[in-house]
Structure formats: C-alpha cells, structure tokens
Amino acid sequence: MKEQLQSIKNEALGEIAKVTSLKDVNDLRVKYLGKQGALTAILRGMRDVAPEDRPVIGALVNEVRDAIEAALKAKEEAISKTLLEEKLRSEQIDITLPSIEIKTGAPNILEHVIEEVEEVFMSMGYDVVDGPEIEEDKFNFELLNIPKGHPARDAQDTFYIEDEKVLLRSQTSPVQARTMLAAGGDKPIRMICPGKTYRRDADDATHSHQFMQIEGLLVDKNISLSNLKGTFDVIAKKLFGDNVETRFRPSYYRFTEPSVETDIPCFVCKGKGCPLCKNTGWITVSGAGMVHPNVLRNCGYDPDVWTGFAFGFGAERLAMLKYGISDIRKFYQTDLRESAVFDRKEN
C-alpha cells in the first residue's frame, strides 16, 4: 500500500504540473481527492490493513493528500494570476468618453431662504430655536394676549386636536413665549424660530393650509422701534439687495404695541404702481412691532424694566418675492423643471 500511495502522489503531481486551465485543476481535484477519487479509495481499504500498520499508513495518506492539495492550490493561483494579467492587457477603459448626465434637483427653495435668514440673524447674535408643532392653547394664544373669543381662535381658522386645548400651532410665536418663560424674566433674549405652521386656509396660488414662518424676538433694556427698523433693513438688504428701501406702516396685532407692517418696493413696477402692489408701489413682507406689555408680563418679564420687539416673515412669501414665483404650491411639488429654474437663477 505504501508503494501504491507513492505512485498516486507522483502521478498526481505530474499531472498537476502540466494543466493550464482552472477546469483541469478542478478535474484533478475530483480525480484524486473527490468521493470517488484514488486517495479516497485507499482510505476505504484501511479496514483491511493490520491494526499495527494503520497509524503508519494513515500518516502516509495524510502526507500524500496534503502534498496534492498544496500543488492544486499553487497551480490554481498561478493560472488565476496569468488569466488576470491577460485580461488587464486585453481590456482598456477610454476615460475620454463623455459621462452620462444624471438629472438632479436643486436645494429646496424654502430651506435655502430660511438658511439665508438664519445666517444673517446668527451674525447679529441671535439663537435659532425650535419648538413643538403640536401646541397648547396656553402658548399659542393666552400668553400672547389673545383672549378667549378672539377671532384668531376660531375653529374655522385653527386645527384643534383636543377640546380647543391642543392644536396644530397657527404661528411660531409660541416658541417665543416658551423661550421667555425658560429665561426666567431676568435675561436678555435674541432668537428666531423658523418652522411649520398650520391654518384652515383653502389651498390656492397664494394660500396654503401649511406654511413656513420665520419669527423673531429681541428682549432687552432700552429697546425701541428704531432697533426694529434697523434690524429689518439688514435682513431686507441681505435678501433683496443693498439698494432696497424699506418702510413701516402702522398696523394692529394683539401681541405687539405699537404694531407695524414692513414693506419693500414692488419688484414688478419698481415702486411706480401696478396690479400686484395695488398701485401703491410697495409690497408687505412681514408684520412686526414692540412686544406688548401684557405678553412680557405673562412670560415673566417686568414691562417697566424690559422692552423688546417681535417680527414674523412668511418664508414662502419671501421666496416668491425674491425669485418671482407666482404660485405657492410649486414649493411642495417635485417637478425637476422648477428646480432647474431656481438653480439657474442662483447661478
């Protein structure tokens, strides 16, 4: 049996040395090491070997098997390397060919505008603060000097969730109230709160039941309306150009006193008067005013010591004015053609 094992080893190694394909290597592996292979047949005949000779024959079988496996592995690696080298020599990649154009959308316009506004206010020391979209009546109305029975609380305008006590916030002003309460009534505040708001508006070209607001608040000592005017001038020039003019008009809001509306010249007629601006030459971009003493008092601040101003922008309105968009619904559509128009204007 020793001579038979040596003969199998020599025969196998000789054949392995001659093969030139991976298929031939695999065939030889089956021939010598497979279930019906020559070496397996020797192992099956071990029962006929004398017990005292079995350890010697078993060790020799293992030696022959290891030698054949090592030779097969080495040949397989050599053939694979040769095939890879031939493939690399025969295949070439022409890097001068034009690539396939992949259509992509531009950044969302609303996010872009909000980021612009955030950058301006952060440069002036303001914090960007977030708050819950599902809000309590207390923060959305009561603390902001909007009493029971006020038209702004009407269920036709507000999305109530639970017994007119829990609602989808109709403005981001509740974040201002929460910020003042958290400050404890003895710290100055500079903050803006961009976010989604919800009102029962019928969706059309200029209205949406969901829209983005960017509201801001500054509370400190000796703050006046002129501070608000200067702040509004900075943001208007950043968004609409250094030459843009601004103006205040008297208005009325429950949470500010005095209240104003802030205007810029009509971007269509350049201040001459047209149907868009109702022949006034001006377009309103935000509401603002000095924080009402009742609001300060409700939120823990002494109105005899502290004053402040608040303002609110509609992100959609800012974007529509800046980019000449006529339909608010375009902000929520996925038409890549609209994104392409915005991208071209940016560049």
Read off the pLDDT of residues 94-146 as tens digits, 9 standing for 90 and up.
778 787 887 776 677 888 889 989 999 999 999 999 999 999 989 999 999 98
At 23-47, the pLDDT tens digits run 888 888 888 888 777 777 777 766 6
Residue 39 belongs to what H/E stretch?
Answer: helix 38-44
Reduced to 3 states, what is the DSSP secondary structure of residue 194? Answer: strand
Q: What is the DSSP string of 95-130?
A: TTSPPPP---PPPPHHHHHHHHHHHHHHHTTPEE--
**pLDDT value for 105:** 65
**pLDDT value for 310:** 95
Would the pLDDT of 340 be above 70?
A: no
Contact 219, 180 (CB under 8 A): yes
**pLDDT value for 156:** 63
Q: If you compute the radius of gyration of the chain from its CA atoms, what whole number of angstroms results?
A: 40
**pLDDT value for 240:** 84
Q: Which stretch of 189-193, 246-250, 321-325, 336-340 has the lowest confidence by average pLDDT?
A: 336-340
Amino acid at 311: F
Instruction: Round the average pLDDT of the chain to a whole number and report it.
Output: 84
**pLDDT value for 127:** 94
Enter the pTM of the model.
0.64
Percentage of residues of the chain with pLDDT beyond 90: 34
Contact 216, 121 (CB under 8 A): yes
At 273-286, the pLDDT tens digits run 887 778 888 888 89
Tell me the mean pLDDT in the region 336-344. Answer: 54
Residue located via tokens 């940016």: 346
Provide CB contacts within 8 A for 331, sequence distance 6+: 108, 109, 110, 316, 319, 325
Q: Which stretch of 99-103, 120-124, 232-236, 343-347 has the lowest confidence by average pLDDT?
A: 343-347
Distances (CA, A) of 325 to 1, 46, 339: 93, 90, 12
- How far is C-alpha 345 from the geometric centre of its chain's CA atoms? 22
Would the pLDDT of 88 be above 90?
A: no
Domain ranges within the chain, ordered by starting residue: 2-90, 109-346
CA pair distance 138, 144, nearest whole angstrom: 8
**pLDDT value for 314:** 87
Q: Which fold has domain 109-346?
A: BirA Bifunctional Protein; domain 2 (3.30.930)
**pLDDT value for 12:** 84
Helices (H), 45-96: 54-90
At 144-155, the pLDDT tens digits run 998 887 777 776
Supply φ then ψ for residue 209, to 5 degrees: -70, -15
Q: Where are the beta strands (DSSP E) in 159-298?
A: 160-162, 166-168, 189-198, 210-220, 247-253, 256-265, 282-291
Would the pLDDT of 49 be above 70?
A: no
At 218-231, the pLDDT tens digits run 999 999 999 999 99
Beta strands 127-128 and 307-314 are: unpaired
Burial class, 305, CB count within 10 angstroms (exposed 0-12 / middle 13-18 / buried 19+): exposed
CA pair distance 255, 257, nearest whole angstrom: 7
**pLDDT value for 144:** 92
Would the pLDDT of 346 be above 60?
A: no
